[in-house]
Amino acid sequence: MIKFIKYSFFDLVRSYWTIIYFLFFIIVTSIILYFSADMTKSIVSMMNIVIVLIPLVSIIFGTIYYYSSREFIELLLAQPVSRSSLILGQYTGLSLSLSLSFVAGVSIPFLLYGILSGDHLHDFLLILLAGICLSFSMSAIAFSTALCHENKIRGFGIALFIWFFLAVLYDGLLLLLLILFSEYPTDSLAITVILLNPIDLSRVMIMLGLDISAMMGYTGAVFLKFFGTVKGIPVSVLAMLCWIIIPASVMVRITRKKDF
């Protein structure tokens, strides 16, 4: 599997779109740091970009990458190669290349501005952790979706809908649900709903680190009330790891049963 990871990683690192992705984060981060004197505001601005852009890019790039390399996968599977090793190698190489572009693109401006003091280092690391987890999670969802659908247009459309649902529709449906059940205790429901959405979970995790209760919204406030800051961050990190492991496991299971 290591050989597949290396091949996919170095192939994607040299990709034109990966370089654009890297340059985008350098430019945007530099602009945010230049125009914002408050480090907390800079982190919040970066959070808004991370929780929307990274899932979108990961799910689009993951779907395109699988479909573009499908013939190569079928050729390799004609050899005595493990299916799970091959697909996990490609998935890991893709996720690592996206994560590296994000981490490098965000870290370089912060280091050049020299504003990563001890007070804000924890918040900055949470931003990086959220971005990496989202890259791995949404890439796994993209691969799983593409593996389930031979038709490229249908697979790509479903992948985009998954992102649109998690990033846009989810909060609206949650609000409607809370209104409908306003006469009943909804704290447990709100926490469950947060855990079922990696994008919302990333936002709450970063907000817990920043300790900005006014910007958490209802679900974030409930999460903070139930777990607190000390327990809330480890719980949210553990839930994000589950959002990587479970989709990746589903991806491997589909690969083993799929008729290539």
pLDDT tens digits, one per residue of 210-236: 766 555 566 666 666 666 666 777 888
Phi, psi of 259 (to 5 degrees): -95, 100
pLDDT band at 46 (very low <50, low <70, confident <90, very high): confident
Contact 166, 197 (CB under 8 A): yes
Rounded CA gap, 84 and 76, in Å? 12
Q: pTM score, two decimals? A: 0.90
CA 49/CA 93 separation, integer angstroms = 23
Are the C-beta atoms of 40 and 117 separated by less than 8 Å? no
Question: For 98-123, what is the mean pLDDT?
Answer: 82
pLDDT band at 145 (very low <50, low <70, confident <90, very high): very high
Give the residue-averaged pLDDT of 137-149. 92
CA dist., res. 260 & res. 70, Å (int): 9
Is the CB of residue 195 less than 8 Å from the CB of residue 239? yes
Spatial distance between the Cα atoms of 203 and 121, rounded to a whole number of angstroms: 17
